[in-house]
Structure 1
Amino acid sequence: MSGRTTIHDVAKAAGVSVSTVSKAVNGRYGIADATVRRVLDAVRELGYESSLVASSMRARRTGVIGVLLADFEPFSAEILKGVGAAVHDTAFDLLAYSGSHQGAGEGWERRSLSRLSGTLIDAAIMVTPTIVNAATEIPVVAVDPHTGRADLPTVESDSFGGALTATRHLLELGHRRISFLGGRPDLRSAGLRDAGYRRALRDAGLPVDPDLIRPGLYEWQTTRDSARVLLAGPDRPTAVFAANDLSAIAVIDVAREMGIRVPEDLSVIGFDDVPEASRRAQPLTTIQQPMRRLGSVAAEMVFSLLAGEQLDELHVTLPTRLVVRGTTAPPPESPGR
């Protein structure tokens, strides 16, 4: 094997996860003796000792990885589950932290990192942070940062590609008047979903009608207000692409209140695939982003950084996929009905 041996090489050779390697080489309980021997054999065979020595010399370890959240909403909750699953079989404990956002001129993340790093946590995963250039002595990975890629390692989903797929799905069903309910303007991922919607329309030779684009802001009431305006017009859309699932659900509720049937009169597609999307009486068609995988990948990156390794990729983008359920169909006037 050429190049410097990494913890991923050891995991592959031993047939175990990276987290299991971390736990085995640090002598933590919870792993079968045979597995420990297999890992240590791989360590010796691959010459991983130098990295282990560098890792073991790190001072003042707390054994805790922090997950810094702006809020405990469905997206961040799923990220947290992914991190938790990755940390479960390791020597690390997990701390979920959502501090005060008052006076956030410097960014809530800086204050949270200042309070926690070095004393309570060994590394941090920031979920949808407003900044990605926080000076800190501990390893930090950002998940779905507001501003996109920067100096810190980042993990995000393919928001542009997902929005392109969502809009193309509606176009392929025969829809031509497709509305878009946007997300928060300060989020790069929301902007990419808007861009994907517009690109799909242009690729289909359709104009982008500003009257069909309304703010949702990922807020329940804002989305309901926008949906009511869109659906009350004389030339209402036959389909709505909402920038997240909760907005899509709000649109469906408004349509039902107005006597508009979904999907017979109106198709609705969301983005995220939060648990509620599949549990509803009328399951939601959506773009699934691998939220738990975002968390587990961020955790794996943190494990590598704590082991003193360079990351193979500094910025990771995970693919999204279309999940067709019960809220999209051809438009009412389509021959396919």
Structure 2
Amino acid sequence: MTIHDVAARAGVSVSTVSKVLNDRYGVATSTVDRVRAVIAELGYESSLVARSLRNHRTNVIGVLVWDIEPYSAELLKGAARAIKGTGYELVVYAAGGKGAERMGWEHRYLSRLSGTLIDGAVMVTPTVDTAPFSTPVVAVDPHTGSEVPTVDSDNFRGAQLAVEHLLGLGHRRIGLLRRPPRDLESGPQREEGYRSALQAAGITPDPDLVRAGGYDDSASEDAARQLLTLPDRPTAIFAANDVSAITTIDVAMALGLRVPGDLSVIGFDNVPESAMTEPGLTTIEQPLQLMGQRAIEMLVELLAGRDLPQTHVRLPTRLVVRGSCAAPPAEPRRVAVEHSAAR
């Protein structure tokens, strides 16, 4: 269905239909009503590309992510809520975590979309600094040293809360599955919070108890297995995202360890899946939906040409206690090497 079909059905010129579509003056009210009725009847919708060529705007905001996983899915819920009533539409663009090289994906995505499909973008966990772009951008969980407006959570304090909870239960050998990639600000902040809490308790962090986890099961599984098959394994593990924590519980149980009887596990994010594990995952909540909402609100302000009262928004984190943590056992159960090798 084209603009010519609308004009023919309404008995007006194409330029009149264009004026109605763009809310311009010079068209009688009765004609506006007739054209809009035909548009509704025919289901006509102008293309985003054509709209951008005419107006240099699309009224579309892009949320660009590397993959749709629990973390980004929660952010998108908040973004969808915030877009209502703004006059903008929302498009989500993702590579599904596969295909192109991960490093620098945001440059490729913005090049494809900006100028023709979107007026601005929310970038989720960018791998590089996104500053050199004419399109307005807000970054969620930013790259280290990012110069664009950002939204994140108090990662340092959240990690402290996690480790302090385990220390309070009596744990002293606490492992860390740190969050990749290392170039995001949140990764070093959470690792520093982990080390800070241990040092405040008089415990020197043990580098043997730190492994790099991941957002996919395979990377987290390998890292968790390495920790749990150490001769002097940790009695608790702080996983710096819930995906790694849930995978750690699965690996522990496959190795014959009870959670939380033999091993306590705590995560970070509080995605919905964390409440569905058995036992339920104790975790650090960062307000993911609110982070998505704030990012959209900031971007709308930028698109309106207004200055932001705050260019870097940091939201609080909190401890959510469920069933995956308990006091350490009096005699930690060891994992048989042949049992782990069989996996």
Q: TM-score, normalised by structure 1?
A: 0.77
Matched, 1:183 2:179: yes
Change (3 A) 1:222 1:101: closer
Shift, 1:146, TM fit: 2.6
Unaligned runs of 5+ in 2: 1-21, 24-53, 332-343
Residues 68-147 of structure 1: pairs in structure 2 closer than 5 A: 68-99=64-95, 102=100, 107-147=104-144
Matched, 1:204 2:186: no
Change (3 A) 1:65 1:71: same
State the distance in 2 between where 1:238 and 1:136 align: 47
Shift, 1:302, TM fit: 1.0
Shift, 1:98, TM fit: 2.0
Matched, 1:60 2:36: no
| RMSD, aligned α-carbons | 2.2
State the distance in 2 between where 1:137 and 1:59 align: 17
Q: % of aligned pairs identical?
A: 56
Larger-gyration structure (1/2): 2
How many equivalent residue pairs?
A: 277
Matched, 1:283 2:280: yes
Change (3 A) 1:103 1:272: closer
The match for 1:274 is 271
SS of residue matched to 2:284? strand
Shift, 1:132, TM fit: 2.9
State the distance in 2 between where 1:179 and 1:192 align: 16
Shift, 1:306, TM fit: 1.7
Q: Is the 8 A contact 2:152 2:313 kept in 1?
A: yes
State the distance in 2 between where 1:65 and 1:274 align: 24
Unaligned runs of 5+ in 1: 1-25, 28-57
State the distance in 1 between where 2:219 and 2:147 align: 34
Q: Deviations over 1:68-119 (max 9, x none)?
A: 11111211111111111101233111011125863667x2222222222222
The match for 1:168 is 164
Shift, 1:214, TM fit: 1.8
Q: Is the 8 A contact 1:132 1:142 kept in 2?
A: no
The match for 2:241 is 244
Change (3 A) 1:101 1:139: farther
State the distance in 2 between where 1:287 and 1:111 align: 33
Q: Is the 8 A contact 1:242 1:268 kept in 2?
A: yes
State the distance in 1 between where 2:117 and 2:190 align: 37
State the distance in 2 between where 1:153 and 1:186 align: 17
SS of residue matched to 1:305? helix
State the distance in 1 between where 2:287 and 2:260 align: 26
The match for 1:156 is 152
The match for 2:50 is none
Change (3 A) 1:200 1:304: same
State the distance in 2 between where 1:96 and 1:200 align: 38
Q: Is the 8 A contact 1:202 1:208 kept in 2?
A: yes
Shift, 1:138, TM fit: 2.7
The match for 1:16 is none
